[in-house]
C-alpha cells in the first residue's frame, strides 16, 4: 500500500445557522486516506460537503473537530500559504492586469524565488500545459480552456505535494470539457503529484479518478475505484447517483452463498449479490441492476444470433438456464426507443407486469433482428452477479 499523502480522521465542520436551532453540520465525521500520486475524486450533489472538505484540506476553512494530516503532519492550525498544497479554483482567479506568464510567476516571486528562475519555471509550466504561445496575453485575450490551463500552470509551478481542484472544468463547453479530462489525467500521471478533485459530474469522476469518494449530506457513503463504485454500489444513493439503474423493491427471503433471494411478488423471485450480511429475513430490500446488464429474447418464435444463425425461444431459454446464475423473468414491452447504438426498452415485469424496468440492448446487424414492439411478450434475462441487493 503506498504512503498516505493526505489523511482525514473524524473530520467535522459545522456552520452557525440563524434559521435553525444550533449549527448545520456540513461535514459529518469524514475519514479517509489519499495516497501518494493518486488521482482522488470527491463526488456528490450540490451541498453534500465535498467543497467544504476540500477547503479544509487547503486551509480556507477550519475544522470544527477531527484531524487533517498531510505527509503525517497535522495541519489544522497551519495557514493555507504554509501548507504543501495548491488550489485550482472553479473561476480560475487569474489577475486580469497580468499576462499569463506573470500570473504563473507571481506565486514564485512572493516566495522569494529570483526573477530569472521564476520566469524559467513559469515558461516550463506553460509548455507543460501546451500554451507557450500565450505567455504575453492577458486573461481577457484567452479562451475559457486557455484560462483553465494557465490556472493549472500557476498551481503546478510551485511544485506542491498535493494539488486541489474545485470543479475546474465546469465553466468549459462540453467538447472542451471532455478533452480536458484526458489532458488532466495525463498531466497528473506525468507529474506524479497527488490530485484531489471535487466534482458533481459522475462521468468526470469515472473517467479520471483512481478512486472516488461518493458523498451525501456531509457523509462519505462509499470509497472505491470507478469499477467498484459503478459495479458494486453499497447503498441505493450510490447506485442511483452513478449512472442509470433499475430499482426493484421486494422482500428478502434467504441468503444462498454470496447471493440473496428476493421475493418481488407472489409469482416472482430473483437472486442478487448481497451488499451486506446483516439483512434479516422478511425485511424490505431493493435489487439494483443496470439497464445494459439486462437482455431480451422473445417468449416464442425464433431467436436470432449475431452470426445470423437462429434457434427457437424454448431452446435458447433451456441453453441459458444451464448456467445456474442466469435469472429469466417474463416481461411485456411498454415502450421502445431506438437511439442508434442501442435500443432502450421500458418493460413491465412480475405479476401483472406491474414492476417497470429499463433494458438497453445493443443493436447489431439489421434493426429488425433485435427489435421488439409495444405489448410484445419477452423474456428478460441477466446474470445474478450483475444485480446488487441493497437494504432499504
Q: Nearest to residue 55, comparing CAs of 198, 169, 154, 181?
A: 198
Q: Which residues contact 178 (CB under 8 A, 6 or more apart)?
A: none
The overall average pLDDT reported for the chain is: 90
Can you tell me the distance from the alpha carbon of 160 to that of 372, in angstroms, rounded to the nearest whole number?
A: 56
Q: Which residue reads 430473483 in cell numbers?
A: 270
C-alpha distances in angstroms, 242 versus 44, 208, 212, 214, 347? 9, 14, 11, 9, 22
State phi, psi for 188 to the nearest 5 degrees: -60, -40
In a 3-state reduction of DSSP, which class is residue 51? Answer: helix
Which CATH fold would you assign to the domain 244-392?
A: OB fold (Dihydrolipoamide Acetyltransferase, E2P) (2.40.50)
Burial class of residue 333 in the structure, from the number of CB atoms within 10 Å of its CB (0-12 exposed, 13-18 middle, 19+ buried)? buried
pLDDT 10s digits, 5-44: 999 999 999 998 776 667 899 999 999 999 999 999 999 9
Q: Nearest to residue 201, comparing CAs of 181, 219, 184, 185?
A: 181
pLDDT 10s digits, 356-385: 999 999 887 554 456 899 999 999 999 999
Q: What is the pTM of this model?
A: 0.88
In a 3-state reduction of DSSP, which class is residue 340? Answer: coil
Q: Which residue reads 457523509 in cell numbers?
A: 219
Q: How confident is the model at residue 159 (pLDDT cuts 50, 70, 90)?
A: confident
Q: Which residue reads 421488439 in cell numbers?
A: 372
Q: 248 near 286, Cβ under 8 Å?
A: yes
Annotated domain spans of the chain: 4-231, 244-392
Whether the per-residue pLDDT at 201 is higher than 70: the answer is yes
Q: 334 near 348, Cβ under 8 Å?
A: yes
Q: 134 near 142, Cβ under 8 Å?
A: yes
Can you tell me the distance from the alpha carbon of 75 to that of 77, in angstroms, rounded to the nearest whole number?
A: 5
Mean pLDDT lowest among 57-66, 79-88, 297-306: 297-306
Q: Which residue reads 438456464 in cell numbers?
A: 321
Q: Nearest to residue 136, comparing CAs of 146, 183, 157?
A: 146
- Give me 212's grid cell: 472516488
**pLDDT value for 367:** 47
What number is the average pLDDT over the span 236-240?
95
In a 3-state reduction of DSSP, which class is residue 279? Answer: coil
Domain 4-231 indexed as CATH 3.40.50.300: yes
**pLDDT value for 128:** 84
- Give me 345's grid cell: 426498452
pLDDT 10s digits, 207-220: 999 999 999 999 99
Can you tell me the distance from the alpha carbon of 178 to that of 140, in angstroms, rounded to the nearest whole number?
A: 23
CA 269 to chain centre: 31
Can you tell me the distance from the alpha carbon of 302 to that of 313, in angstroms, rounded to the nearest whole number?
A: 6
Q: Which residues contact 251 (CB under 8 A, 6 or more apart)?
A: 262, 263, 282, 283, 284, 285
Amino acid at each position: 500500500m503506498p504512503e498516505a499523502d493526505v489523511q482525514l480522521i473524524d473530520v467535522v465542520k459545522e456552520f452557525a445557522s440563524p434559521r435553525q436551532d444550533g449549527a448545520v453540520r456540513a461535514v459529518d465525521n469524514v475519514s479517509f486516506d489519499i495516497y501518494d500520486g493518486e488521482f482522488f475524486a470527491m463526488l456528490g450533489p450540490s451541498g453534500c460537503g465535498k467543497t467544504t472538505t476540500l477547503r479544509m484540506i487547503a486551509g480556507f476553512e477550519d475544522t470544527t473537530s477531527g484531524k487533517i494530516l498531510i505527509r503525517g503532519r497535522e495541519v489544522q492550525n497551519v495557514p493555507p500559504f504554509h501548507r504543501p498544497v495548491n488550489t485550482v479554483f472553479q473561476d480560475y482567479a487569474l489577475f486580469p492586469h497580468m499576462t499569463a506568464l506573470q500570473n504563473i510567476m507571481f506565486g514564485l516571486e512572493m516566495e522569494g524565488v529570483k526573477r530569472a528562475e521564476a520566469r524559467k519555471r513559469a515558461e516550463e509550466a506553460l509548455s507543460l500545459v501546451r500554451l507557450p504561445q500565450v505567455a504575453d496575453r492577458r486573461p481577457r485575450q484567452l479562451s475559457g480552456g486557455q484560462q483553465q490551463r494557465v490556472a493549472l500552470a500557476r498551481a503546478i509551478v510551485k511544485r506542491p505535494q498535493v494539488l486541489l481542484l474545485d470543479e475546474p472544468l465546469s465553466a468549459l463547453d462540453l467538447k472542451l470539457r471532455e478533452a480536458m479530462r484526458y489532458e488532466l489525467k495525463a498531466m497528473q500521471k506525468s507529474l506524479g503529484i497527488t490530485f484531489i478533485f471535487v466534482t458533481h459530474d459522475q462521468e468526470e469522476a469515472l473517467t479520471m479518478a483512481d478512486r472516488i469518494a461518493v458523498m451525501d449530506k456531509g457523509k462519505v457513503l462509499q470509497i472505491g475505484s470507478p469499477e467498484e463504485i459503478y459495479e458494486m454500489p453499497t447503498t441505493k444513493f450510490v447506485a442511483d447517483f452513478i449512472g442509470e439503474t433499475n430499482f426493484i423493491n421486494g422482500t428478502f427471503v434467504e441468503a444462498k452463498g454470496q447471493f440473496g433471494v428476493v421475493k418481488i411478488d407472489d409469482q416472482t423471485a430473483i437472486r442478487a449479490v448481497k451488499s451486506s450480511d446483516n439483512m434479516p429475513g422478511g425485511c424490505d430490500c431493493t435489487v439494483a441492476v443496470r439497464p445494459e446488464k439486462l437482455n431480451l429474447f422473445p417468449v416464442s418464435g425464433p431467436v436470432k444470433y449475431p452470426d445470423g444463425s437462429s434457434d427457437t425461444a424454448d431452446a435458447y431459454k433451456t441453453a441459458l438456464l444451464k448456467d445456474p446464475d442466469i435469472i429469466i423473468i417474463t416481461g411485456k414491452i411498454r415502450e421502445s426507443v431506438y437511439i442508434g447504438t442501442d435500443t432502450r426498452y421500458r418493460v413491465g415485469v412480475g405479476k401483472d407486469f406491474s414492476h417497470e424496468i429499463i433494458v438497453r440492448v445493443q443493436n447489431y446487424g439489421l434493426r429488425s433482428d433485435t427489435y421488439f414492439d409495444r405489448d410484445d411478450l419477452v423474456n428478460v434475462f441477466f446474470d445474478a452477479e450483475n444485480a446488487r441487493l441493497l437494504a432499504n
